Each structure stands twice: as structure tokens, then as C-alpha cells.
């Protein structure tokens, strides 16, 4: 399966109506002008992005889901964007820059040598700057290979279908896609893919995913320290810390 066909496998899984398709190339110059706050970011875009495409526009007129507006957010459209990265690209930074540059919430599908990444980021109005939109944080899952028969990934793809999302508003639709990304992240930890639209379950899973990410970072650091440590008593202490964190991690995995 080529990069293009892998991306299309995800797009096809969304089950979007033909009216929503845009299939337009987005010039890198536009991304540089709107989403590159530093010279380093400009270089990352110019050197790291091979192709950027606006695949679909999900809005009331194209998919029949109402827009959403409150004091914090205005969801008039969800943009489905695809991007192919070149070898050596700063992928995580580029994903963030693309989400920041586009004023609409984005379901972003990116491809590099490690496979596909699907990401989302809720957006809200900036508190101190009129007309400025900020992201709450990027939620993504990487290393996807639609051509491989991996059960959790195949369940994830099936669960992305528009017909299987909450459709009260574009906000609930976007939250549905974001929660399915989180469900696959959870499945990578506990081996079980379980899509849900229950806010309480989503909230607990989100907290456990955040906690697990922190614990995993701490464990990497402690394991590195333990390998370098020469004093036996200090190594014993580090190993006890590792055991406690691993127990905490196991608890959070059960809550996923």
C-alpha cells in the first residue's frame, strides 16, 4: 500500500458524503505565512513537508451536522487535512503547526517513514486576543499501517465512520473522532479497543492516558539512571522507585 492509498484508507473509513470533498492542494507558502512563528518553524515546513492537501470540509451544508457556538468555541466547519512528510521531518512539531495554522478544528492525517498519524486538537477563542484561536492540545496516535491486519487498528478505522459518531453538533462530532483516537492510544497500552461516547468513560480514560504518559516518561528516566548508577544502595533505591511507578502504571491501564 502506497502512502497515498494508506491516507485514502483512513479517508474512506470516515464515510463522508461526496458533497464534503474538496481535494485541493494547500501551498506550503500559506502554512509558512499563517503557522510559522519562528525561522526554525519556517525551515521545518519548507524542508519537512512534501505535500499538503485539504481533503474535505465537514459543515452543516455538506454533512448535515449543525454548527456549534458557545462562549468559548465556534465550530462552523471541520477540515480533513492530509500531509506527507519528507524523511527526517520534525513530524511532531509540524503536526502542531498545522493544527495551529488552520482556524477550523482539523482531523489531520500525516504520513512519514514510520506510518500514518491521525490527530485532532480542540480549539477555542484566546482569552486576551480578539479573533485569535488557540488549541487545547494535540491528541494523536502514530505508527498506523492500514494495510496490515492489526485488529485494534482495523476496529479503530471502522469506528471512524461518520454514521457512528455523535451528530448533535460539529463539536460532538469532533469529540467523537478525538475520543476514538484516545481509544486506540488506550488499546496500545491494554490491548483492548473500546470506542465510546459516554462522557464519564471518556473523562476517566483521558485522565488515565495523561497519567500513563507522565509515568512512562518518569520510568524512562529512572531506567536510564539505574543503568548508569554505580552505587549498589542507590541502584536498589531506583529499582524500588521503578517498581512503585510500574504498579501505578498498571492501575491506570486498568482504567483505560
With H, G, I as helix, E, B as strand and everything else as coil, classify residue 138.
coil
Q: Say yes or no to pLDDT of 57 above 70.
A: yes
Q: Say yes or no to pLDDT of 3 above 80.
A: no
Q: What is the pLDDT of residue 131?
A: 65
Edge-first strand listing for the sheet containing 78-85: 21-25, 49-58, 78-85, 106-112, 115-120, 139-144
Q: Say yes or no to pLDDT of 110 above 90.
A: yes
Q: What is the pLDDT of residue 238?
A: 78
Geometric angle at alpha carbon 45, from 41 and 49, rounded to 5°: 155
Task: Evaluate whether 58 touches 65 at the Cβ level (below 8 Å).
Answer: yes
Q: What is the pLDDT of residue 130?
A: 61
Q: Are strands 78-85 and 49-58 parallel, antiparallel or unpaired?
A: antiparallel
Q: What pTM did the predictor assign?
A: 0.88
pLDDT tens-place string over residues 64-83: 999 999 988 999 999 999 99
Q: Say yes or no to pLDDT of 103 above 80.
A: yes
173 class by beta-carbon count within 10 Å (0-12 exposed, 13-18 middle, 19+ buried): buried
Geometric angle at alpha carbon 191, from 186 and 194, rounded to 5°: 55
Task: Evaluate whether 180 touches 160 at the Cβ level (below 8 Å).
Answer: yes
Q: What is the pLDDT of residue 129?
A: 66
155 vs 194: CA distance, rounded Å: 9
pLDDT tens-place string over residues 194-208: 999 999 999 999 998
Give the residue-averaged pLDDT of 131-152: 89
Q: Where are the domains positioned within the chain?
A: 3-196, 206-254
Mean pLDDT of the chain: 90
Q: Are strands 115-120 and 139-144 parallel, antiparallel or unpaired?
A: antiparallel
List 53's β-bridge partners, or say none: 25, 82
Task: Evaluate whether 64 touches 81 at the Cβ level (below 8 Å).
Answer: no
Residue 56 backbone dihedrals phi, psi, to 5 degrees? -155, 155
Amino acid at each position: 500500500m502506497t502512502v497515498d492509498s494508506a491516507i485514502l484508507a483512513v479517508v474512506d473509513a470516515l464515510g463522508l458524503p461526496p458533497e464534503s470533498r474538496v481535494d485541493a492542494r494547500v501551498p506550503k507558502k500559506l502554512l509558512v505565512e499563517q503557522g510559522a512563528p519562528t525561522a526554525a518553524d519556517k525551515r521545518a515546513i519548507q524542508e519537512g513537508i512534501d505535500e499538503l492537501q485539504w481533503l474535505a470540509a465537514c459543515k452543516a451544508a455538506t454533512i448535515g451536522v449543525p454548527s456549534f457556538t458557545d462562549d468559548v468555541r465556534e465550530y462552523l466547519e471541520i477540515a480533513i487535512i492530509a500531509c506527507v512528510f519528507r524523511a527526517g521531518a520534525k513530524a511532531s512539531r509540524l503536526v502542531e503547526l498545522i493544527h495551529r495554522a488552520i482556524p477550523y478544528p482539523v482531523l489531520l492525517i500525516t504520513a512519514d517513514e514510520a506510518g500514518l498519524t491521525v490527530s485532532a486538537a480542540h480549539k477555542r477563542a484566546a482569552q486576551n486576543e480578539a479573533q485569535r484561536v488557540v488549541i487545547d492540545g494535540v491528541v494523536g496516535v502514530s505508527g498506523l499501517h492500514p494495510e496490515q491486519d492489526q485488529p485494534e487498528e482495523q476496529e479503530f478505522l471502522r469506528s471512524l465512520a461518520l454514521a457512528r459518531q455523535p451528530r448533535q453538533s460539529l463539536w460532538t462530532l469532533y469529540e467523537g473522532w478525538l475520543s476514538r483516537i484516545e481509544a486506540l492510544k488506550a488499546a496500545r497500552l491494554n490491548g483492548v479497543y473500546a470506542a465510546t461516547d459516554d462522557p464519564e468513560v471518556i473523562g476517566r480514560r483521558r485522565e488515565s492516558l495523561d497519567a500513563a504518559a507522565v509515568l512512562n516518561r518518569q520510568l524512562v528516566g529512572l531506567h536510564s539512571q539505574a543503568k548508569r548508577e554505580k552505587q549498589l544502595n542507590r541502584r536498589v533505591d531506583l529499582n524500588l522507585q521503578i517498581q512503585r511507578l510500574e504498579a501505578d502504571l498498571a492501575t491506570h491501564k486498568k482504567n483505560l
